């Protein structure tokens, strides 16, 4: 099961867009080791965290943590640090400092504290460790910030610079390059090969599908034999996937960035839709063993999702879809995740209607979009009533830490009195606070 662990984790990490589910939860749930594949998974996890932060628009010192962790992981892989990584770090550090330059004068104290925390301590440690993140650019920023302490004009100039935009650009570039380096996930590679294999068989058997891309079919036909060998090798031990990645990069599939997912694979999935009925009637392409593996894989995936998101109900029939046709290991968990974590109180009949969309023939067959367990509606937030369902039981009093207060101040500065956004902007720190808590604390702080 270890290989499947890695495949599923890798797949979820690359495809999920739901910031509610922290990739680190998934990684800790799977208890990964330090093998090459596991390090790749950890890299995926960090990239997903960075991506989620960008989606939330959060560029804070947590981002610096992630970039530092990423550097360590890449070192373990003996990979060279990319320029985009170094630049992203410099500009993110600058942006983190700029956040504390909102007062008109450097003497306010916030700026001094930020300089101490970010540049003296954090980057000081980086310098001592000989990190490649310490670049000429970074040192230039350090010099400028230190000068800005003394020179009001420079302070004002930096203060008005749009550092954030550049930081986001470099972070985005870093993500793109790193995802491309990782190539397709194992599950996607297998799904793509399986699809191309079927298509190739169709072409050879004069069941020509002119709607598809003929060159892709030719390509797949040429690479079919070696692909199958690769798949078998992967299934045996998940080793040496570099060759696959290069190959995928050549045909364009491997360059897929998860931020754009749903494009390349969406095409694959669409193509599969058009073939679905035909396959089911004339081409029972999977043997019993394949079906068992596919079913187990989906069960296991749902189990993991329950692990990281308890709102997914246990005991639903996750295999309903699979029972109709189980030859599907195409990228579906994204959809599972999006709908499965909604926490909406709706019945299954509604789910099915939605899944089929406006197409009464059900083009989005349940084979492509597995039926999802409807989350159990919570009668009470886990934060309320101290986790107890009983009424009139107060939560234990938990005093606010300085970090929480500081994050709240920052949040109000950034989002205004949008307590939900502030909470979502720092989900880890505010995990045990409700939006009302944030509002109440702010009321205390401003003396309202």
Chain residues binding DNA by CB under 7 A are 384-386, 391-400, 417-421, 433, 435-437, 439-441, 444, 448
Least distance in angstroms from the C-beta of 401 to DNA: 9
Least distance in angstroms from the C-beta of 417 to DNA: 4
Report the C-alpha gap between 321 and 237 in whole angstroms: 29
- Whichever of 86 and 433 has its CB closer to DNA, that residue is 433
Token pair 């205004």 is found at 416
How crowded is the C-beta side of 294, counted as CA atoms within 13 Å? 26
Least distance in angstroms from the C-beta of 391 to DNA: 6
Structure-block tokens of residue 36:
């090459």
Report helix, strand or coil for 172. helix
Report the C-alpha gap between 86 and 90 in whole angstroms: 6
Report the C-alpha gap between 135 and 92 in whole angstroms: 13
- Whichever of 261 and 437 has its CB closer to DNA, that residue is 437
Least distance in angstroms from the C-beta of 408 to DNA: 10
Report the C-alpha gap between 381 and 433 in whole angstroms: 11
Contacts of 245 (CB under 8 A, 6+ apart): 181, 182, 183, 184, 254
Which of 288, 273, 272 shows the shortest CA–CA distance to 198? 272
Report the C-alpha gap between 23 and 16 in whole angstroms: 9
Least distance in angstroms from the C-beta of 419 to DNA: 4
- Whichever of 358 and 399 has its CB closer to DNA, that residue is 399
- Whichever of 307 and 439 has its CB closer to DNA, that residue is 439
- Whichever of 278 and 344 has its CB closer to DNA, that residue is 344
- Whichever of 130 and 391 has its CB closer to DNA, that residue is 391
Residue 244, H or E segment: helix 242-251
Which of 54, 64, 73, 132 shows the shortest CA–CA distance to 96? 64
Q: What is the 3-state secondary structure (H, E, C) of 354-370?
A: HHHCCCCCCCCCCCCCC
**In the chain, helix, strand, coil percent, each to 5?**
65, 0, 35
Least distance in angstroms from the C-beta of 96 to DNA: 25
Report the C-alpha gap between 212 and 253 in whole angstroms: 16
Least distance in angstroms from the C-beta of 392 to DNA: 6
- Whichever of 139 and 388 has its CB closer to DNA, that residue is 388
- Whichever of 195 and 419 has its CB closer to DNA, that residue is 419
Least distance in angstroms from the C-beta of 17 to DNA: 18
- Whichever of 111 and 419 has its CB closer to DNA, that residue is 419
Q: What is the separation of C-alpha 271 from the centre of its chain, rounded to a whole number of angstroms?
A: 26
- Whichever of 112 and 401 has its CB closer to DNA, that residue is 401
- The region that residue 161 occupies, defined by phi over 0 for left and psi between -120 and 50 for alpha, beta otherwise, is beta
Least distance in angstroms from the C-beta of 384 to DNA: 5
Which of 167, 52, 173 shows the shortest CA–CA distance to 98? 167
Q: How many CB atoms lie within 10 A of CB 316?
A: 18
Least distance in angstroms from the C-beta of 40 to DNA: 36
Structure-block tokens of residue 203:
């072409």
């Amino acid at each position: 099961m270890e290989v499947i662990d890695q495949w599923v984790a890798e797949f979820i990490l690359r495809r999920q867009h739901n910031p509610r589910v922290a990739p680190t939860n998934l990684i800790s749930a799977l208890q990964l080791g330090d093998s090459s594949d596991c390090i790749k998974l950890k890299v995926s996890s960090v990239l997903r965290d960075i991506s989620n932060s960008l989606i939330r628009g959060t560029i804070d010192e947590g981002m610096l943590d992630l970039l530092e962790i990423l550097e360590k992981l890449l070192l373990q892989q003996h990979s060279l640090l990319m320029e985009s990584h170094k630049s992203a770090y410099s500009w993110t550090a600058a942006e983190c400092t700029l956040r504390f330059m909102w007062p008109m004068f450097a003497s306010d104290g916030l700026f001094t504290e930020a300089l101490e925390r970010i540049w003296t301590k954090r980057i000081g440690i980086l310098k001592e460790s000989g990190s490649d993140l310490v670049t000429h650019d970074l040192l230039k920023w350090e010099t400028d910030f230190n000068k800005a302490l003394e020179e009001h004009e420079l302070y004002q100039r930096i203060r008005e610079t749009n550092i954030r935009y550049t930081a986001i650009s470099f972070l985005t570039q870093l993500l793109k390059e790193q995802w491309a380096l990782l190539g397709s996930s194992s599950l996607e590679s297998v799904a793509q090969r399986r699809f191309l294999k079927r298509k190739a068989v169709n072409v050879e058997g004069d069941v020509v599908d002119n709607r598809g891309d003929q060159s892709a079919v030719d390509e797949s036909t040429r690479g079919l034999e070696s692909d199958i060998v690769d798949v078998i090798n992967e299934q045996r031990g998940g080793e040496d996937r570099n060759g696959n990645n290069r190959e995928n990069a050549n045909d364009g599939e491997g360059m897929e960035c998860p931020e754009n997912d749903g494009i390349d694979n969406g095409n694959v999935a669409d193509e599969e839709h058009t073939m679905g009925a035909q396959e089911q009637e004339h081409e029972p392409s999977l043997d019993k063993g394949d079906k068992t593996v596919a079913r187990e894989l989906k069960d296991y995936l749902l189990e993991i999702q329950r692990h990281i998101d308890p709102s997914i109900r246990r005991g639903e029939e996750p295999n309903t879809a699979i029972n109709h046709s189980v030859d599907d290991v195409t990228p579906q968990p994204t959809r599972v995740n999006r709908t499965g974590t909604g926490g909406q109180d709706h019945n299954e009949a509604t789910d099915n209607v939605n899944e089929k969309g406006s197409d009464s023939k059900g083009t989005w067959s349940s084979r492509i979009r597995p039926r999802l367990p409807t989350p159990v509606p919570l009668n009470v937030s886990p934060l309320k009533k101290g986790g107890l369902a009983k009424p009139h039981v107060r939560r234990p009093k938990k005093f606010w830490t300085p970090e929480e207060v500081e994050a709240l101040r920052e949040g109000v500065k950034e989002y205004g009195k949008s307590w939900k956004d502030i909470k979502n902007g720092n989900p880890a720190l505010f995990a045990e606070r409700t939006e009302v808590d944030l509002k109440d604390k702010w009321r205390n702080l401003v003396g309202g």
